[in-house]
Structure 1
Amino acid sequence: MNTRIAVIGSTEFIERIESITSEIAEIDFDAYIYQKPTEAGLLIKTLKPCDAVLFSGALPYYFSKKYHEHLPVPSFYLAQDEMSVASSLLSVLYHKKISPHRISIDVSQASIVTNVLADLEIEMDTSYIMDYQEMLKDSFDISLITCYHQKLWKDGFIDLALTSVHSVFDQLQLIGVPAMRMVDPQSSIFKALQDIKAHTDLIKSRSSQIAVCYVISEEANAHELVDGLAHEIQASVQLLEDCHFILYSTRGDIESLMNRNGLNHFFAQLQKKGTIGFGYGSTIMDADRHAKIALGFAEKHSDDKCGYIFTEDKDLLGPFPQHAKQQRLKNDHPELLQVAKQTKLSPANISKIIQFSHSRQSIQFTAAELEDYLQVTRRTTERILKKLSDHGHVTIVGEEMTYSKGRPRAVYELNLPVY
């Protein structure tokens, strides 16, 4: 299955990515374009389901930090390296015929420039190199980079500004300062994309790791409550004895439950004592053994309601619930409210579909999987999918053969801002 990457960057960077997509196997891209790096955070609110997010550089990554830190998928940025600087200096020398000591440069880390200059035995005034990495720790105004180059040029110290920020290049052009964009070498982009794919493949592999869960509850409706928990983590359930249950799931489903505060919701329904132990492992025997260890810690805890997780790395996580968190019961995301208005689906149904997307390790799904999650009839599910499809919010991307006779089942992907 292909890795889908959301790319957030300038028009020039997106065009650079698109120019090499035919040479990149097993990776799909969704482009999100900003005019200035400061707009990157707002674009995160419009992201559709993906496996990872790639920012064009350190600045958009920094400006959107408070947004991408809460994403359920990993975020990366294309880091500048010596290859980028060397390629850019070579381009300046060949095309512009300008000596390095008449150039000003801005980079996220000055050492990558000084390393290249040292290797090439080129002397250059280090005051012409702006390192904005340290500046990112404070409140940073991107116009400072433009002013830095403008002053050096106005005072006659440089003939060209070499910038790694596309919006700075645009501003320098407007005010008449000769400028050039830092080169993003194809090899650097390839390596970054390969690293992202390897990282996301590792996450998917870990998410599919076996998880066993032991639950002890003295509630009169324990079966009903445990069945609800099993539905949340897509688990099968066995009753070992009265009040004692065992569930089989995956690590990814358990972590998704924790991320959306589902375990706290389960504990909130208990009136009597309840303990839970989760175990992860590469085999079902390992996971089972770790779940029993976690349950043992939960039973020894002084609280009536307690849960622990014991991982394959022998890490003990807990006790849960540590903190009471307020659950968000309303949906005021403007884009999703617009989707609800277009499709005439209730905001509650839209929210459930978003939660369904968050609960899955794959961005693709079938109508049967959505039906099972929503706990509605197949006819209702198909009606929901049709309304979404009619407005382009869900697309059919393939077919899946069933194990019995009948037509192949359609495979869907959401086209919604789910984060």
Structure 2
Amino acid sequence: MQLNKNRLAVVGPADSVALISEVAQERGSQLKVFPIIYQDASEVPEILRRYDNEIDFWLFSGKVPYCRAVISGNTQKPLYYIPHTGSSLYRVLVQIANSEKLPINNISFDTFSKKEIEEAFADISPDIPRFYLLEYDGVISAGDVADYHYELWKSGKIEAAVTCFLSSYQKLRGLGVPAFRIWPTRDTIRTMLSVAISEVEASRFKGGQIAIQHIAIDGYEDFIRESASNYAAKRTEMRLYELLLNYTEAVKGSIILHGNGQYTIYSTRGVVEELTRQFTVMPILDDVTRELVVGVSGGIGFGSTAYAAEENAHIALGLAQRAGKGKWMVVLDDKTVCGPLNSATHLRYSLRADEPAFRELAAKLNVSATTVNRIFAACDKLDHATVNADDLAPYLGITPRSTRRLLASMVANGLAEVAGEEGFGKGRPRKLYNVNLDRLLPRP
């Protein structure tokens, strides 16, 4: 039986696509290659829209089209690009010196780093000659690149130009500039293909993991007691079941009704990950909030076995219910927690407490190792180490008062310091704390 091949789109200018596709055909038993040629990298977003449903992963000829793909947000598929390495640079310098008999001083470059160019020159000559370099981050147009080289040549500052862009190369040649094109080496292409195939296969394995979702009506006994009638309660449960049934269809799964406001949905990781946008949102939460008078919590668990997924789903539901009513949490196969979904205080942290440093620190602060992980995740989410108790508390899942006690304990143990105060209106000023993340958990 023939295994399904990974569908690879190779995107770039004609010459690069031809070379990359030729090398990719060496992995013909694993890949079905789709060459896609553009005239300009600005076409990348439209290419993604047009072909994304037919592709498993994308390989771009260089960093610029790759960056355009990332910025566009038009695909959730894996994205890769062929890097321009020092060997490619060395090859073009040899071409300039030996084949074209041009001096290898006063040359302009783009895309590479200064260090890469200096190391390539060092392989040819003990003295590094003068050169010019256009460095950039992210997206740049081929026209701007050509203009950079042309202005240097027109002013007499360079003898030759080296570019990674086909359009720039063609324009410069048309203007009479001695221009040279950087090509990726076959070894570089083979290496990148191996990396991409390995990662895609690993992702596909994870995507096939079992996903179990446990859902429960919050405070079910109170919900029944406070309902206008038994019929009213049953209608609410039936409407919830209908909403969950629609969601189950979306994740291509199956649902079991346990009674007492409890439900379980079985599916696979790949479709759940896509539908929840990498475990950040829960699509049905808005409908549940709008249509039902009762909170509904959920826990999503993943695992390579049904037992592991079931265990993680129970943990996730417990975390969700401790976080409050109407919360949903995710526990991945590696015990990473994501959630609450649809929340401004969404975090990603680990449940593991295997490292002795975690256990020691948790004991010193008289908190759980999970709380220690949440502190790290919260500071990362807030993007700064200066916090106050009111802002930090929602991320830790504890009250501001408990958070103040925790921060005071961290100060007493030299893990944080009072940075000042901020006042709002007539209330008592709130203390600001600098959390010392390096001292909080020293890294090896």
Instruction: Tell me, yes or no, whether TM beats 0.5.
Output: yes
Q: Counterpart of 1:312? A: 333
Task: Name structure 2 gaps, 5 residues minimum.
Answer: 218-232, 345-444
Deviations 1:302-351 (A, max 9, x none): 33x2211112222221223327xxxxxxxxxxxxxxxxxxxxxxxxxxxx
Residue 60 of structure 1, aligned match among 61, 65, 69: 65
Q: Counterpart of 2:304? A: 282
Relative to structure 1, is the Cα distance of residues 71 and 63 closer, same or farther in structure 2, using a 3 angstrom cutoff? closer
What SS does the corresponding residue of 2:123 show, helix, strand or coil? helix
* RMSD, matched Cα: 2.4
Deviations 1:120-172 (A, max 9, x none): 4453434x2314235x48xx554332233223333444432221111110110
Relative to structure 1, is the Cα distance of residues 266 and 87 closer, same or farther in structure 2, using a 3 angstrom cutoff? farther
**Partner Cα separation in structure 2 for residue 230 and residue 201 of structure 1:** 26
How far did 1:36 drift?
2.1
Relative to structure 1, is the Cα distance of residues 153 and 299 closer, same or farther in structure 2, using a 3 angstrom cutoff? closer
Q: Retained in 2: the 8 A contact 1:216–1:244?
A: yes
Q: Counterpart of 1:125? A: 129
Q: Retained in 1: the 8 A contact 2:164–2:182?
A: yes
Q: Counterpart of 2:79? A: 75
Q: Counterpart of 1:24? A: 27
Residue 91 of structure 1, aligned match among 90, 95, 103: 95
* Residue identity in the other structure for 2:259: E
Mean Cα deviation higher: 92-101 or 164-173? 92-101
Q: Counterpart of 2:46? A: 42
* Residue identity in the other structure for 1:2: K
How far did 1:176 drift?
1.5
What SS does the corresponding residue of 1:73 show, helix, strand or coil? coil
**Partner Cα separation in structure 2 for residue 121 and residue 159 of structure 1:** 17
**Partner Cα separation in structure 2 for residue 42 and residue 253 of structure 1:** 24
Give percent identity, aligned residues only: 24
Q: Retained in 1: the 8 A contact 2:12–2:38?
A: yes
Residue 245 of structure 2, aligned match among 227, 247, 254: 227
Relative to structure 1, is the Cα distance of residues 204 and 317 closer, same or farther in structure 2, using a 3 angstrom cutoff? same
Relative to structure 1, is the Cα distance of residues 226 and 62 closer, same or farther in structure 2, using a 3 angstrom cutoff? closer
What SS does the corresponding residue of 1:144 show, helix, strand or coil? helix
How far did 1:21 drift?
4.1
Relative to structure 1, is the Cα distance of residues 99 and 72 closer, same or farther in structure 2, using a 3 angstrom cutoff? same
How far did 1:241 drift?
3.4
Q: Retained in 1: the 8 A contact 2:316–2:330?
A: yes
Deviations 1:237-281 (A, max 9, x none): 333333212222221121122128634355355442211111112
**Partner Cα separation in structure 2 for residue 264 and residue 70 of structure 1:** 25
Q: Retained in 1: the 8 A contact 2:214–2:313?
A: yes
* Residue identity in the other structure for 1:170: Q
Q: Counterpart of 1:291? A: 313
Per chain length, whose mean CA-contact separation is higher, i.e. which structure has more relative contact order (CA < 8 Å, sep 6+)? 1
Q: How many residues align?
A: 317
Q: Counterpart of 1:3? A: 6
Q: Counterpart of 2:322? A: 300
1:144 equivalent in alignment to 2:144: yes
Q: Retained in 2: the 8 A contact 1:37–1:167?
A: no
Residue 237 of structure 1, aligned match among 255, 269, 289: 255
Q: Counterpart of 2:171? A: 171
How far did 1:198 drift?
1.0
* Residue identity in the other structure for 1:87: R
Relative to structure 1, is the Cα distance of residues 306 and 46 closer, same or farther in structure 2, using a 3 angstrom cutoff? same
Q: Retained in 1: the 8 A contact 2:59–2:80?
A: yes
Relative to structure 1, is the Cα distance of residues 10 and 249 closer, same or farther in structure 2, using a 3 angstrom cutoff? same
How far did 1:227 drift?
2.7
Q: Which is higher, the Rg of structure 1 or of structure 2? A: 2
**Partner Cα separation in structure 2 for residue 109 and residue 308 of structure 1:** 43
* Residue identity in the other structure for 2:329: Y
**Partner Cα separation in structure 2 for residue 310 and residue 151 of structure 1:** 56
1:159 equivalent in alignment to 2:159: yes
Normalising to structure 1: TM-score of the pair? 0.69
Matches within 5 A, 1:217-366: 217=217, 219-221=236-238, 222-259=240-277, 262-264=283-285, 267-268=288-289, 269-303=291-325, 305-322=326-343
Deviations 1:7-27 (A, max 9, x none): 221112112223334323312
Relative to structure 1, is the Cα distance of residues 266 and 254 closer, same or farther in structure 2, using a 3 angstrom cutoff? farther
Normalising to structure 2: TM-score of the pair? 0.65
**Partner Cα separation in structure 1 for residue 200 and residue 191 of structure 2:** 14
**Partner Cα separation in structure 2 for residue 73 and residue 187 of structure 1:** 25
Matches within 5 A, 1:340-419: none
What SS does the corresponding residue of 1:272 show, helix, strand or coil? coil
Task: Name structure 1 gaps, 5 residues minimum.
Answer: 324-419
